[in-house]
Amino acid sequence: MMFNDSNHILDDWLSRWHAWGKSYKANQQKAQDPVFRNAKSGRGWDSIDDIIEDDLIGSTLESIDFHVSEMQDPHRAAIYVLARNLYTGRSVWMSPRLPADPLERGTIVAEARNQLTKRLMAAGVM
């Protein structure tokens, strides 16, 4: 049961991570004064709980991004494809870095999931 729960939790986080990664935009503005580099716009309509939750979710997504980036191919590629498929709700996305054989690809995806789950559990994310 615990293994099944961790699979659902990982699926949810990978889907969120993909959406978060898609929304990234490089800062193309002029450099700002270092005093204000971490300043955020006012969010007076948000409760303190909402602000804390947003910060925790952001930290979790950054942690997932770090741990995925530390993985080696083909496992990293498998996580990218898995996250995209989970986000879209379809299993149509592929990567040329993964084997064409469905059994081999499934083995690599399972290994990648296990590696990432272990990394996130060791980091206290899951």
Average the pLDDT over 17-40 and give the result: 66
Identify the band that residue 65 occupies on the pLDDT scale cut at 50, 70 and 90. very high
In a domain, 72, yes or no: yes
| The pLDDT of residue 26 is above 90 | no
State the total domains in the chain: 1
CB atoms within 10 A of CB 15: 18
In a domain, 32, yes or no: no
In a domain, 102, yes or no: yes
96 lies in which domain range? Answer: 2-20+48-123
pTM of the predicted protein model: 0.76
Tell me what pLDDT residue 61 has: 93
In a domain, 35, yes or no: no
Mean pLDDT value across the chain:
83
Tell me what pLDDT residue 6 has: 80
In a domain, 27, yes or no: no
In a domain, 25, yes or no: no
pLDDT in tens, 75-97: 999 999 999 999 998 888 888 88
In a domain, 42, yes or no: no
In a domain, 99, yes or no: yes
Q: Is 117 exposed, middle or buried (0-12, 13-18, 19+ CB in 10 A)?
A: middle
